[in-house]
Every structure is written in structure tokens, then in C-alpha cells.
Amino acid sequence: MQVAGRKVAVVGMGGAFPACKDLNEFDQKLFTNQSLVRQWDLAVQYEKQIRSTVSGYITEAEMGLEAVWAPITEKYPETYIDTLGRIPDANLSTADMGSIWAMLGAQEATTMAGWTKAEIESEQTGVVVGSGGAGNQILRVAWHYFFQMGKKARIAGAHTVDRSMSYREAANISCLLKTKGVCESITSACATGLGNIGHAYRLIKFGLQDRAIAGGVEGTALETFIGFDGMMILSKGFSPAESSRPFDIHRNGFVCSFGAGIVALEEYEMAKARGANIIGVINEYFNNSDGDGDMFYPSFAGQQRLWKGLLPDKGLRPDVVKMHGTSTPVGDSVELLSVVDALGDEGYHMSAPKSQFGHMLGGAGSVELITALLMLKNQQVLPCLNSETLNPELEGFQKNENWTGPDKPLAAYRHLVPQKAFAKEINRIACLNYGFGGTNSAMLVSRDI
């Protein structure tokens, strides 16, 4: 049961963003319609073994890190050095790349929040951060020692477990900042980032915590990229900047990318009382499952129920819908039509941040929530880059006799899908994310007005 009167404010944010040195550069590039997707030289090295070679990836150097290569081969990093001295070596020794990004993002978010050491270390401050996959890159050396070289298990090192355990990002943040509240992770595929923030929101809303560090991560790893490339669902055949193209008729898959988004949440009245800069207020969070037994195919009915849970009060309408918008053929169509089914075809716009940096998997929802908060700050709608042509014909599933959604083609909603950033009064944004297994997440965030 919710505690009456408790609201949740976002008071800090940080993370790791492709081709950007910090949050300010990320902000500047997004709102000048730039793409952060690049040709990935590492993928190119494997030539015909890999179909897709573009990604919104992040290098060690871009994050102020230096890889320490394993003595057996220069292909495998054994650990990392923080060249800027932000994280102690002891904390780096237990961390994969994503965990390092999570710790850096947590430092940035709590600094922006203005929390004192006592507040951070309080029993009322929790950590809820997760990722979509294992700490693949840092684990290569352990498996190579054991399987290829036939070495004893102890030669693989003492940190294989803590670098691969499911809640490694939350654990590393908690150990670095010495938090004493809840420490846990929720992993829900591509809904992970928003799901962790949603759970943290509920912890505060229900009176179980006063503050929380929350978000999602996906550390750069070729193993992750290969997995999706093997499914043949990655974008192929376009220039890097044109590869991520949500809703466009020529889309043929998503861009596998990497990043981290961490936010600092606080009970609203507490934040207000201490004069905190309130970046945004979370109005509602709702999540559900499709329940149709399909691991991959999107469910219009599931998304209908998601909207009903997010907007029980029909008066809370968003000015912008931050779409999941992966650039997959069916997923984009079902999502766009489910939004129109819930909101009609006037009075709001759709924004697809993945068009600018690709799909960050476990980090997608949290980084995209940060883009929503930046839209509130800048009072501008981010674009759906490359959404040049929407299908003028009905989708195949719209012709099914059981279809109950909108009966117009995607092209009829062209006016809702901007191709460039533009200024607009924005008071409220709905954020959507979906994942394999039929998991759906939605959050409504607003300006503090």
C-alpha cells in the first residue's frame, strides 16, 4: 500500500554515453540532431563472421579508463585502471566494465543531488541497479585460461564470481558509496533500466526508503553483440548514422549499443525542504507481462493493458511519448499503434532516442529516462531520426479479422513522429520500454510545477 502524500523526485543523474565525455556533451549532441552510432572497428575485424558492424559503443579511453591486458594474450583485459582517480583500485578489482560505469554514474548522480555523506550512507538510501547480460568482456580471460590453456581454476583469478553475479552493478555501487539500505537488481531484458528505476520509485512511494540510486547498464562487449547478430535482428546495409531508423518503412533491425544511466531519487518533500534541484517528478510507474506465451513477438493487448495501468486517471496525458522504438519491423508498428489507441492522434509527439544512439539493452530504459528529463529541462522534443517514410499501407496484422486497434496505416500518424528536435511546452512525458519474454514497463514523469 502506498503511503499517503509521498511523491518521488529525480534529483540527480549520470552515466556513460557513446561518443560523449559526459552528460553535458550527451545533452548537446542529442538536441542538435546528431547520431552517436559509429562503425565498430572491433566488429569489422571479424569480416564475414558478423553481419552488422555498427554500434553506439564506448571505449575505455572515452571513460578515462585503461585496460590492463592479461599476460597470456593482448586480446583479454584482466582489469582496469581509472586514469582520473575516481574509483579506488580495490573497487575496480571487483568490477566489469558496466559496473565501473555504474559506479561513475552513481558518483555523478549523488553529487548532482547534493546528498551528504551521512545521507548516502544512511539505512534510508537504497541501490537498485541492473544490467541485461553478464560481464562478458572481463570474463574472457578466466574462460581462456581454463578451457583453452588447461590451467587450474585458481589461475583464472579470484574475481570471476563477483564480476559475473547478477547484481554486480548494485553491489559495486553499494560497496563504493557504503550505502546501508536496500541493495538489489532486477533483470528484465530490454526493460531492465526502467524497471529498476520503477522498483526504486515504489520503495520510496511505499515508505520503505527515502532515497535511492537506480538505473540500468550494458557494458561494451563483443559477446553481447554477437548474440544478437546471430539472431539476424541487427540493422544492416545503411551508413552508421542512418542505421537506427524507428518507424521508417525500410528499417530492418536495431543497432546493438552500450551505455549506462543512473538517477538519484528522493522523497519529494524531503528534497524540497533541503532546497534540492528537482529535475523531474515521477507521477506513476506500471509494468506487466503480455501473457500470451510468446518470447519475442510484441503484444498489442499487453501494451493496451500497460497504458491502462499507467493512466488510470485519464486527465494525466503526456505531451511527449518516449518510445521504445527499436527499429524492428513488427515491434515498431505495434508500439506506434498501441500509443495511438491509448492517446488518439492529436496533442502529443513521439520521440525515439534509439534513433540517435541505438539500443542499449539493459541500459536502454534508464538512459532514455535521462533523455526524457533532458527534454523537460530543454523544453524540446527529441527526434525520430531517419524516420523518413512511414508505411502508407496497412500492416499485415491490421488485416487480421481479430485486430481491434487503429485501422489506419502508420503514415496517417506522420505528424506525431518528428524527424528533427523542436521546441515545445512539455510538462509531462510517458516513457515506454519492452523486453524479451513479454515484459513491459511504463513511467510518467513531469516537470516540478
Which residues are the active-site residues? 190, 324, 359
Question: What CA–CA distance (Å, rounded) separates 133 from 192?
Answer: 10
- What residues have CB less than 8 Å from 148, skipping those under 6 apart? none
Which amino acid is located at 34 in the chain?
Answer: Q
Per-residue DSSP letter, 3: P
Question: What CA–CA distance (Å, rounded) separates 113 from 263?
Answer: 9
Question: What CA–CA distance (Å, rounded) separates 52 from 396?
Answer: 27
Cα-Cα-Cα-Cα dihedral sign, residues 11, 172, 360, 285: negative
Question: What CA–CA distance (Å, rounded) separates 66 from 60?
Answer: 6
Indicate the SS3 state at residue 190.
helix
Assess contact for 323 and 351: CB atoms under 8 A: yes
Grid cell locating 331: 515491434
Helical spans, DSSP H, in 206-267: 222-230
Cα-Cα-Cα-Cα dihedral sign, residues 112, 318, 261, 198: positive
CA distances (Å), origin 319, targets 278, 376, 379: 19, 10, 11
